[in-house]
C-alpha cells in the first residue's frame, strides 16, 4: 500500500481542506491537511491491520516552542488514526476519499 494519496475533505465546498498522505516503504508516513494558510501535520509510522485498515501512529512530530507554534499557522496531529482501505488505489480517512497519485 506504499505510495502517495490525496483528496479533498469537504467535497466541492470552496472552504474545503486538501489532504495529502504519504506511506513509505520503511513504514514511516506523513499526513498533511492544508486549508487556506493553515496546515495540520502528522509524522509517524503506519501498519496494515488484518481488517483492511491502515493504522497511523503520529509520534514523530517535532517539539516546537510557543513562538514557533504561533508563527506556524497550523498544528500537529497527535495519537492514532485509522484509514479504511477501499482498494489498491483508494483509501478513506473519515469522510474523505484519498486516491493514489500517479
Residue pLDDT, tens place only, 15-40: 788 999 999 999 999 999 888 777 88
Q: Tell me the whole-structure pTM to 2 decimals.
A: 0.81
- Residues 68-84, mean pLDDT to the nearest whole number: 69
Percent of the chain residues topping a pLDDT of 90: 50
CA 45 – CA 23 distance, rounded (Å): 9
Residue pLDDT, tens place only, 84-101: 999 999 999 988 999 999
| The three cell numbers locating residue 23 | 506511506
CA 11 from chain centre, in angstroms, equals: 17
Amino acid at each position: 500500500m506504499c505510495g502517495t494519496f490525496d483528496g479533498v475533505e469537504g467535497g466541492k465546498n470552496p472552504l474545503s481542506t486538501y489532504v495529502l498522505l504519504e506511506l513509505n516503504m520503511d513504514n514511516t508516513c506523513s499526513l498533511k491537511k492544508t486549508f487556506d494558510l493553515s496546515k495540520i501535520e502528522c509524522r509517524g509510522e503506519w501498519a496494515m491491520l488484518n481488517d483492511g485498515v491502515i493504522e497511523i501512529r503520529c509520534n514523530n512530530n517535532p517539539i516546537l516552542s510557543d513562538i514557533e507554534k504561533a508563527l506556524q499557522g497550523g498544528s500537529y496531529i497527535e495519537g492514532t488514526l485509522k484509514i479504511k482501505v477501499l482498494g489498491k488505489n483508494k483509501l478513506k480517512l473519515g469522510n474523505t476519499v484519498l486516491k493514489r497519485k500517479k
